[in-house]
Each structure stands twice: as structure tokens, then as C-alpha cells.
Amino acid sequence: MGSEQKKIGLALGGGSARGFAHIGVLQVLEGAQIPIDLVVGTSMGAVIGAFYCAGIDLLLLEKMACQLQRNFWMDWTFPRLGLAAGDKLEQLIFLLTKGKTFAQLEKYFAVVAADLRSGEKVVLQKGSVARAVRASAAIPGVFHPVEEGDKVLVDGGVVERVPAPTARDMGADFIIAVDVGIYLGGEKPHHLLDVITQSLDIMQRDLCRYTLEAADVVVQPQLKEISPGHFHKADIAIQKGREAAYEVLPQIKALLGKERLYEEAT
């Protein structure tokens, strides 16, 4: 797409297991031939966004998500800086993205992480995709932080749960954001991952409202029955993502049509 043309950006938010809903949203957007020019992901949104931008077939990705066991990507370790080292997660991402760098991806992609030393947002868009995504998904207390130079990087949801502002900064003129939700007053936590992620949800409530203001359209799957640690409910999350995307698809098409960014196939 030429530099004089407007760009459509997709911002995929964090949410642990709820983030599988991104797969369903992507399936609907792809089926409707919505032209996505750039993708920005935070945490689980970074994981799914990396796979999408690496060209993985979305139906295959759905099958893998529904069959993936937690021990495939959780390498429990002595809890000094985190309960899991994160090496297995990075290896899984490296394998599924075929070891690509950002420059080798099929779509322009970036991920958001947080630097514990400065307290600032860090946007990663160069070098190893797997390494960057690992940093963006390093939930504090669960995964060891990723050290890059003088930075100590953790989950991007600490600073920008839904990275719509970053998509805007990267040049997106029209932004579709996917927010997999913050649900309080729901299920009692049953796993340490639930305790940590639900605590982060509480802290991120107001921040999430701010980040969504940068989006033109927000897709919000209803995932209240899925706790952050319910990775065995990937099929439900994906279906909820499809349902939410279908619901707002007419709005997306109408707005893009007005901007002359989308023309319905005949």
C-alpha cells in the first residue's frame, strides 16, 4: 500500500486464555476481505498477531489452539523472578513463525511490552519475533522478565492492554481494536495464573478505557465465563470472537466504505 494511501490497523489486546478469541475475529475479517495493513499486539494479542502475520492458516491455528496443552509452553522453574522461565513459550513461537524476524513477516507487525526499570511502554518491531512476543507476554510473577540491553521487559498489558494508541502512532488511519474484556465479580480464582491476571485486570480497568478511545471500531467478545487460565476453553473463546466480529462487521464495512478503504466483492 502506497505511503499516500490510508492504512488499516488491527490492535489485539491482552487477556491470557480469553485472547484465543482473536483467532475467531481474524477469521471473520479475513473472510470478509478486510484489508489489514498493520497489526499491533499486547501479550496474548502479540502471540496470535505474530502467528497471523507469519502467514499461519487460521483454521490450522484454531485446531492447534484447541489441542495445545499448558505443559507445551509452561516451563516451571524456581520462583525467583517468575514461576516459568519462558523459554518453552519462545521456542513454540519460534517454531510456528518459522524463526522469522519482523522484516520477514507478511504484514507490518509490532508488539508492546513494559520496561520495569523505566516504567515506560516499549514498542518492539525489529529482530526476532519470538523473542519480542515472549517479552510482551511475560506476565509479571508468572514468567521471568526478558532482559534486552538495559531494559527489563514484562507483559505489555501493564502499560497498554489494547494497543490502539500504538497502532495510531505507527501510522494507522483506521483502527479496529479487539478487547477481550475485563470481568470483575466473576469466578473465584482457581489457579495462581488466575490470581495474578485478575489482579492485573483490576489495575487496568481505567487504563483500558483510555486505550480504546484511539480505536475507530472495538470488537468485544463476551468472555465472562472464561477465566484467564482457562486455556482448555480455546474453542469457546474462538467462537465468541467470531460472533462478536460478525456483529460489528456491518459497521466496519460501512465506515471503511466511507473512507474508500474497502469495496464489497461482487
DSSP state letter for 150:
T
Catalytic residue among 16, 43, 136, 227: 43
Is the Cβ–Cβ distance between 85 and 144 less than 8 Å? Answer: yes
Residue 129's nearest CA partner among 90, 102, 155, 166 is: 102
Cell of 22: 482473536
Is the Cβ–Cβ distance between 112 and 41 less than 8 Å? Answer: yes
Q: Is 128 a catalytic residue?
A: no
- Distance of alpha carbon 97 from alpha carbon 52, whole angstroms: 9
Q: Torsion angle of alpha carbons 238, 164, 110, 22, nearest 10°?
A: 0
- Distance of alpha carbon 58 from alpha carbon 142, whole angstroms: 28
Cell of 130: 519470538
Cell 505507527: give the residue: 170
Residue 122's nearest CA partner among 136, 137, 140 is: 136
Q: Please, what sign has the CA dihedral across residues 126, 98, 140, 112?
A: positive
The span from the first CA to the last CA of the chain, in angstroms, equals: 22
Catalytic residue among 37, 155, 194, 216: 155
The catalytic residue positions are 43, 155
